[in-house]
């Protein structure tokens, strides 16, 4: 089931897609910095766990960018080597992964993470070591506040929240909204707050704001509160692994309002989890593979040729992050 055949995407900002290595979950080495040998770039990512499509898409695109750079001669004649460590979507593992990339693999720069909470866990390690770190897609504003060695290539949640609210108010003509957010994720709680602020400023009413904890979706009480609130929009700024279940359970509970989400919904797994309930809902995103711009068409064609898959927004941002680094 194709994601975009089921759910409409609000493209609020397109990443500038303009335009080898090895995956190592346990160890291995590289040339690091110095002035000879390979240049080691580290990537910490959720290659497994509940948001595994985030890490896999990002890693593929980074490898594509590196393959192209190496084929063009690398950096001053030196080849680039990518070392990827799986953090399994866990904050403790993210910090450990960045430490290993810097200390064991001698990475001269770090790419990652997708989830803001994981970038917030790994960022202080990179900052202390004075190793530049670029997050492809961590949208929580606090991520780059860690220090002057931490960067990103994506939009921020204050902007994303405002766009989602404006779409709900102006396009969907909603006046009343509910929010259901993951209280354990910096991304989700932050985006919920920005959406709430913007929707209220635009004259809308947040009738109820409910919380859950990711991975523990015993949310019957929250769904009943939302159903009783008689809203037109349910804003769910969570990750696809939870959002799909929430949408499906929401429809089963009798909620008829449209569901609206953020870029954390961007995964081909979403319609598999939500089933037919995903139809007719919306989420904001950085990019759409259907766009006609030549640079987007070129990126999509190269990614499809390499991986036999259509690149999602995480892939586009991963590709951009690598290009910014090079």
Cα separation, 170 vs 254, whole angstroms: 25
Nearest to 33 by CA among 132, 112, 123: 132
pLDDT tops 50 at residue 41? yes
Cα separation, 225 vs 121, whole angstroms: 34
pLDDT tops 50 at residue 25? no
- The per-residue pLDDT for 15 is 37
Nearest to 318 by CA among 79, 55, 116, 83: 55
Cα separation, 140 vs 117, whole angstroms: 9
Question: Could you tell me what percentage of the chain is helix, strand and coil, using 3-state DSSP and rounding each to the nearest 5?
Answer: 45, 20, 35
Starting at the edge strand that comes first in sequence, how are the strands of the sheet with 109-111 ordered?
A: 22-23, 80-86, 39-45, 109-111, 133-135, 150-152
Q: Which CATH architecture has domain 157-285?
A: 3-Layer(aba) Sandwich (3.40)
Please, are residues 291 and 21 in contact by the beta-carbon 8 Å criterion? no
Q: With cut-offs at 50, 70 and 90, classify the pLDDT of residue 33.
A: low
pLDDT tops 80 at residue 20? no
Mean pLDDT over 77-104 rounds to: 97
Q: With cut-offs at 50, 70 and 90, classify the pLDDT of residue 8.
A: low
164 upstream amide cis, omega within 30 of 0 = no
pLDDT tops 70 at residue 26? no
Nearest to 237 by CA among 318, 136, 321, 162: 162
Mean pLDDT over 177-182 rounds to: 98
The percent of residues above 90 in pLDDT, for the chain, comes to 88
- The per-residue pLDDT for 75 is 96
Mean pLDDT over 163-179 rounds to: 98
Q: What letter does residue 283 receive in the DSSP assignment?
A: E
* Numbered ranges of CATH 3.40.50.2300 in the chain: 15-155+291-325, 157-285
- Mean residue pLDDT of the chain comes to 92
Homologous superfamily of 15-155+291-325 = Response regulator (3.40.50.2300)
Beta strands in 202-281 (DSSP E): 205-212, 233-236, 258-261
pLDDT tens readout for residues 101-130: 999 999 999 999 999 999 999 999 999 999
């Amino acid at each position: 089931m194709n994601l975009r055949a089921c759910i409409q995407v609000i493209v609020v900002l397109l990443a500038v897609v303009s335009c080898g290595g090895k995956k190592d979950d346990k160890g291995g080495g590289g040339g690091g910095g110095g002035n000879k040998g390979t240049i080691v770039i580290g990537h910490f990512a959720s290659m497994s766990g509940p948001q595994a499509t985030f890490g896999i898409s990002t890693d593929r695109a980074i490898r594509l960018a590196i393959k192209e750079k190496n084929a063009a001669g690398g950096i001053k004649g030196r080849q680039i080597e990518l070392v990827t460590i799986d953090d399994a979507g866990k904050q403790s593992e993210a910090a450990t992964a960045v430490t290993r990339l810097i200390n064991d693999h001698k990475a001269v720069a770090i790419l990652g993470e997708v989830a803001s909470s994981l970038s917030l866990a790994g960022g202080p390690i990179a900052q202390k070591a004075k190793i530049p770190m670029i997050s492809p897609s961590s949208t929580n504003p606090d991520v780059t506040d860690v220090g002057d060695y931490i960067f990103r290539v994506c939009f921020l949640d204050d902007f994303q929240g405002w766009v989602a609210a404006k779409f709900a108010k102006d396009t969907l003509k909603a006046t009343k909204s509910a929010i259901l957010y993951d209280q354990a994720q910096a991304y989700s709680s932050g985006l919920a707050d920005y959406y709430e602020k913007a929707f209220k400023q635009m004259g809308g009413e947040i009738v109820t704001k409910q919380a859950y904890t990711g991975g523990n979706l015993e949310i019957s009480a929250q769904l009943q509160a939302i159903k009783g609130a008689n809203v037109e929009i349910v804003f769910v700024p969570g990750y696809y692994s939870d959002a799909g279940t929430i949408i499906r359970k929401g429809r089963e509970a009798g909620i008829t309002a449209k569901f609206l989400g953020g870029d954390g919904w961007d995964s081909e797994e979403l319609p598999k989890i939500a089933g037919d309930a995903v139809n007719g809902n919306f989420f904001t995103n950085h990019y759409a593979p259907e766009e006609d711009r030549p640079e987007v068409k070129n990126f999509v064609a190269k990614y499809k040729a390499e991986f036999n898959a259509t690149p999602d927004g995480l892939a586009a941002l991963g590709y951009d992050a690598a290009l910014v680094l090079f």
